[in-house]
Structure 1
Amino acid sequence: MGITIGLPFYNAENYLELAIKSVFAQTYQDWELILMDDGSTDRSLEIAKSINDPRVSVYSDGKNKKLAARLNEIVRLAKYDYLARMDADDLMSTKRIETQMNILKNNPEIDLVSTGTISITNDLTYLGGRYVQLNEISFNDLLYKRATPLHASIVSRTDWFKRNKYDESLKIAQDYDLWLRSCKKNDFNIKFITDLLYYYREENNATSKKVLAAYKNERVMYKKYADSKFLPLYVKSKFKSLIVFGISLMNKEDILLKRRSYKGTDTTMEDNYLKEIEIIKNTKLPTF
């Protein structure tokens, strides 16, 4: 049973090849890979086009339409009933697709599966792992961010994304908007697993500029969906923005990176991650 893996990219020449290697290293091999360029001006498109495998398709129109539009395009192009996505600067465990596919196959009531995440730096240094421990998630859980899935860790039924499209007017926080909107109409049947199967480069995202932009969009989401809870959530978000702004003034942005990962004392997670990285690095890509 096949799965479509959608990988949108924009100026990701330093990371794209390794991301693609992590697809080829999967224990589950019945997949198609859609490489979706968003108007890159570096060597990213050249790297994508160098892959010589009938399962890989490259799409490029030279335009910069942003992430939400490209993700909607991937859904329209997908030929399989299951859909996975990842970001061009991330990696995934070799067992990721097999694990999440098995859950969807064996649980027809579930539409989406989100995994735990290992946070890494740009040079692949292990920072720590995090995951959600909830069997069910409510609208309030999402609204108060007691639990939110990592966007790129999702494997889903393709039909779900056909019913629930991304809002292309949003430049960031498209995922948060989608989760809230689908949950509000009772179409958010998701399962969280604690397996740490997605490797997320935090450095590119844990900057004061991006965090402040995320909080700003968060407040837009509250206005759209929070109803009577809007005011306390808005005030809380503004307070968090002030803290981040203060952190940026003190040049302490490393705090933003550290607070997003939880190392704990168990070294097993790091050991497993390092073994997986070696497998991915040593995977050979078929090229022209």
Structure 2
Amino acid sequence: MDTLQSRIYRLEQLLQSAPERPPGASAAVATLESPAVSVVMPTHNRARYVGEAIESVLAQSFRDWELLVVDDGSEDDTRSVVARFLVDPRIRYLHQSNRGASAARNAGIRASRGSFIAYLDDDNVWYPDFLKKAVDVLATRPEISLAYGALVTDIHNFHQERILWKNFDRALLETGNYIDTNVMVHRRSLVDAAGGWDESLKSLEDWELVLRYTRTEPAAAINVLAAYYRHCDDTRITKLQDYQRDEGAVLAKNGDRPPAS
């Protein structure tokens, strides 16, 4: 049972400032090909916010990354905002006609080079140690293909929690997603084995991806604040009919139990 005591314990884990790394992390990370992490950022008409998202990638304590900003047919000033950051050779700008966030993420993956892949939406921001902790886990635990941190949010209200972070539980995951797009890092091999983002879905695409990527092996929860989920405008609001349709499609595709009532 998820008690108040267990929530406090998880919060203490997140807030502790433990400098130690997993055994062998330094040597394991040093063997990774560069860039170690490809960060894929889809964006559409968010010129006002995308710069702050990019800045949070630049602020990461782990530095061996590339950032692919995939402009999904923006009609505002997004291109010129992103252009200011292109002096950093790690950042690339791609443009496509408007096809949706999942198509933009897939385009970013195809253009990426990293062994690990992470995602940051254009209106959210990362906490500075997220990539460092995720890479340490993936580099030292070959049996793990997906790691995730904690999401700070005022939007999701998952069991009335502001910090969305739970130990991996496949049965719980089948009732609803607690691993947000912005807090996961996974191996490229998962894309090769199970495919990329489902472009037919208009909502719940992150839930579908995580269900598919954890079907045969568990994910690892890491004790790090990963992302802050910001409510910047109304473009995130999902139509009820899309949600209900996509919920059925996700469960049918993955053969999982229906959500608990």
Shift of 1:35: 0.8
Shift of 1:171: 2.0
In structure 1, runs of 5+ residues without a counterpart are 122-127, 237-288
Return the TM-score normalized by structure 2.
0.75
* 1:141 aligned onto 2:172: yes
1:54 match: secondary structure: coil
Looking at structure 2, the residues matched to 109 and 205 of structure 1 have their Cα atoms a distance apart, in angstroms, of 40
- Which residue, out of 106, 110, 132, partners 2:165? 132
What are the superposed Cα offsets for residues 212-255 of structure 1, whole Å, 9 maximum, x if unpaired?
Answer: 6434421332344456x45xx49x3xxxxxxxxxxxxxxxxxxx
Looking at structure 2, the residues matched to 98 and 78 of structure 1 have their Cα atoms a distance apart, in angstroms, of 19
- Which residue, out of 42, 56, 70, partners 2:91? 56
In structure 2, runs of 5+ residues without a counterpart are 1-31, 156-160
> Does the CA-based 8 Å contact 1:104-1:111 persist in structure 2?
yes
Looking at structure 2, the residues matched to 182 and 133 of structure 1 have their Cα atoms a distance apart, in angstroms, of 17
- State the superposition RMSD in angstroms: 2.6
Aligned to 1:269: none
* 1:107 aligned onto 2:141: yes
Aligned to 1:81: 115
Aligned to 1:161: 191
Identity %, equivalent residues: 25
The letter of the residue matching 1:58 is Y
Aligned length: 221
1:60 match: secondary structure: strand
Q: Measured at CA, do residues 58 and 210 of structure 1 come closer, stay the same or move farther in structure 2, by a change above 3 Å?
A: same
Return the TM-score normalized by structure 1.
0.69
* 1:92 aligned onto 2:126: yes
Looking at structure 2, the residues matched to 203 and 213 of structure 1 have their Cα atoms a distance apart, in angstroms, of 21
> Does the CA-based 8 Å contact 1:131-1:196 persist in structure 2?
no
Aligned to 1:174: 205
1:218-237 superposed matches below 5 A: 218-226=247-255, 229-230=257-258, 233=259, 236=261
2:62 match: secondary structure: coil
Looking at structure 2, the residues matched to 60 and 97 of structure 1 have their Cα atoms a distance apart, in angstroms, of 25
Which structure has more helix as a fraction of its residues? Answer: 1
Q: Measured at CA, do residues 93 and 207 of structure 1 come closer, stay the same or move farther in structure 2, by a change above 3 Å?
A: closer
